[in-house]
Amino acid sequence: MASISLKKLISKKDVLSLLKQMIEAIGTSILIQETNGTVLFGESSKDVLEFNRDESLLTPFALPHLHSQRELPKTNNQNLYSLTSSPPPLDSILKFEKYPVHLNDQIIGWVIGENNASSVAFLLSYIANKELQEKMLARETLDKYKEINLLYNISGQLAACLDLKQVANLVIDEATRLIKATSGSLMLVNPETGKFELIAALGQEYDPKAPIELGKGIAGSVMLSGKAEIVNNVQSDPRFIKGKNQIHSIICAPLQTKEGVIGVLNISNQNSVNYSAADLKLLTALASQAASAIENAILHEQKLKEERIKSNLERYVSAKVVEAILDAKAEVSLAPAKRDIAILFSDIRDFTSKCEELAPELIVDYLNEYFTHMVDVIFSHGGTVNKFVGDMIVAMFGAPSKLVHSEQGAIKTAIDMQNRIKAIPVPWIRNNFITGIGISSGEVVVGNVGSPQHMDYTAIGDKVNVASRLQSIAKGEQILVCRSVYEVTQSLFEFKEVGTVQVKGKKNPIEVFEVIY
């Protein structure tokens, strides 16, 4: 807290001038002392008594009292009292009073004099308190400037950082630099588990595998209340949970966003320190900046994750379907589940023999051109590219996003694929890429299948095998479908009944229909 020195105060020219004018106006002499007895203005009691009879040599303080002492007997050395003898107390000659100089509730000095000297004490008290107010205002303004400048600098650093852990570490570094601390931590609430998870820490290593439940510990309490706290003796706080760090004092501030409290920022000290309200205010301001930066970092991570998912999905499904998958409201899941879908297999006839005619690099270029056109057709009808196997294409209709009339979409896709091949601007592809297509429909298991190291989004079930077998018996430019597809779409397309066919891997023969286009 700011303080005022009475000595420095009356040494100021304007204060000293005002003091002399007032003393002259009230017509009395005074003595101003510090609380320890040091004389700051006027003369000591010894100086008052040991004056010379020659008025020109007397001090201003002694002069008013000379006339009352004129009739006292003289001594040999012409002094009123012998200088070798001890002077009597001042109060034995004159009646003086002591008036305190107040600085708020504190006494910082005394004014000694007659009754009217109280006005001098009042004046000095007023000037001292006025000086204190100005000093406190100047300090408050300086602190405010430092705080604003600090937050401005930190906000610039945080704005440039979009990595969550980097943001958290930066916040802790700044907090422990500004406020004396031996350890600190930043914890966020995991929305899935509803528990605190440590994002960054300073001090003895924490155990990141031990999440803290909300409401437990000082941090958990601050999280629920949303109010920052200082605890200068954590051992006496029943909420304190003892950990690896030895802690004496702690400040805990919530990370508050518009959506609510998302976590807490802690700094602590293992030594016996008492954190102040100013420390709490500073950490709270820093926590506010941190919350915004963390929210931006989380959104950035989610955006990157979404972009990665979108980039991967767009290789297999249309942009419209990707948006549906990324839409939180869409009923889309990549987990394995039973689903009624239509499956399309397309394969180039005699592709192996045709590859012998060209260099491998040219074949790859032609395949990429062919696949580009075929995928475009599949996507245009809401289909999903399941996989490429050599020159074969496997597509699904109705997964991962549900598709109304999936069988109809599959047949339209097959017809457009056959027609698109004839329009590809590469003569060799038009003349040599002759495809056969098979389509089936029904219930299969669709979802991510594989190991933790590698997974594929695919369909598994008998209907997949049926589509594969239909494709294998289809001739060039032919589209074959099973009965389930025919029954749903017979009023929409023209069909030719092929008959019952025994296909490899099936005990019972299947009914086959050809799409006429």
Q: What sign does the dihedral 176-180-182-185 (CA atoms) show?
A: negative
Q: Highest mean pLDDT: which of 143-152, 287-296, 473-482? A: 473-482
**Structure token digits, residue 185:** 């931590």
Choose among 194, 198, 132, 131: nearest CA to 164.
198
- Report the distance separating Cα 421 and Cα 400, nearest Å: 27
440: CB partners within 8 A, 6+ apart: 342, 343, 463, 464, 466, 467, 470, 481, 482, 484, 485
Query: What's the average model confidence in pLDDT over 327-347?
Result: 78
- Residue 277: strand, helix, or coil: helix
Confidence of residue 320 (pLDDT cuts 50, 70, 90): low
The CATH code belonging to domain 319-516 is: 3.30.70.1230
Contact 172, 184 (CB under 8 A): yes
Q: Are β-strands 337-348 and 435-450 bridged in parallel, bridged antiparallel, or unpaired?
A: antiparallel
Chain segment 235-277, per-residue pLDDT in tens: 888 888 877 667 889 999 999 988 889 999 999 998 888 898 8
**Numbered ranges of CATH 3.30.450.40 in the chain:** 162-303
* Bridge partner residues of 397 (DSSP): 342
Q: What is the 3-state secondary structure (H, E, C) of 412-473?
A: HHHHHHHHHHCCCCCHHHHHHCCEEEEEEEEEEEEEEEECCCCEEEEEECHHHHHHHHHHHH
Query: What's the average model confidence in pLDDT over 300-326?
Result: 72
Chain segment 408-430, per-residue pLDDT in tens: 999 999 999 999 999 999 999 99
Q: Does the global pTM surpass 0.95?
A: no
Chain segment 99-114, per-residue pLDDT in tens: 999 998 899 999 998 8
At residue 331, the pLDDT reads: 54
Higher pLDDT, 59 or 138: 138
Instruction: Characterise 391 by phi-psi region: left (phi > 0), alpha (psi -120 to 50), beta (else).
Output: alpha
Confidence of residue 147 (pLDDT cuts 50, 70, 90): low
**Numbered ranges of CATH 3.30.70.1230 in the chain:** 319-516
Confidence of residue 512 (pLDDT cuts 50, 70, 90): very high
Choose among 263, 175, 245: nearest CA to 206.
245
Maximum Cα interatomic distance, the chain, rounded to a whole number of Å: 157
Angle value at C-alpha 80, between 117 and 63, nearest 5 degrees: 30
The structure tokens 């869409």 sit at: 330
Chain segment 27-48, per-residue pLDDT in tens: 877 889 998 888 888 754 443 3
At residue 186, the pLDDT reads: 92
Query: What's the average model confidence in pLDDT over 316-338?
Result: 65
Least confident window among 9-23, 48-62, 84-98: 48-62
Q: With 70 as the cut, is the pLDDT of residue 69 above it? A: no
Q: How far is CA 242 from CA 108, 184, 236, 246, 479, in A?
A: 46, 15, 12, 8, 72
Q: DSSP assignment of 82-151, as one string? A: -TTSPPPPHHHHS--EEEEEEETTEEEEEEEESGGGHHHHHHHHHHHHHHHHHHHHHHHHHHHHHHHHHH
The alpha carbon of 456 is separated from its chain's Cα centroid by a whole number of angstroms, namely 35
Q: Are β-strands 435-450 and 479-482 bridged in parallel, bridged antiparallel, or unpaired?
A: parallel
Query: What's the average model confidence in pLDDT over 386-408?
Result: 90
- Report the distance separating Cα 129 and Cα 372, nearest Å: 84
Choose among 124, 132, 69, 73: nearest CA to 101.
124
The mean pLDDT of the chain is 81
Choose among 81, 94, 73: nearest CA to 29.
94
Query: What's the average model confidence in pLDDT over 140-155?
Result: 67
Q: With 80 as the cut, is the pLDDT of residue 450 above it? A: no
| DSSP code for 74 | P
Chain segment 12-27, per-residue pLDDT in tens: 888 888 888 888 888 8
- Report the distance separating Cα 365 and Cα 358, nearest Å: 11
Q: With 70 as the cut, is the pLDDT of residue 332 above it? A: no
Confidence of residue 511 (pLDDT cuts 50, 70, 90): very high
Contact 265, 287 (CB under 8 A): yes
Chain segment 171-227, per-residue pLDDT in tens: 888 888 888 899 899 999 888 777 888 888 887 554 444 556 677 888 888 988 899
Q: How far is CA 340 from CA 8, 297, 364, in A?
A: 92, 40, 34
- Report the distance separating Cα 9 and Cα 15, nearest Å: 7
The structure tokens 């050809």 sit at: 514
At residue 414, the pLDDT reads: 97
Residue 106: CB atoms within 10 Å: 12
Contact 146, 254 (CB under 8 A): no
Domain 162-303 matching CATH 2.30.130.10: the answer reads no
Q: DSSP assignment of 181-195, as one string? A: -SEEEEEEEETTTTE
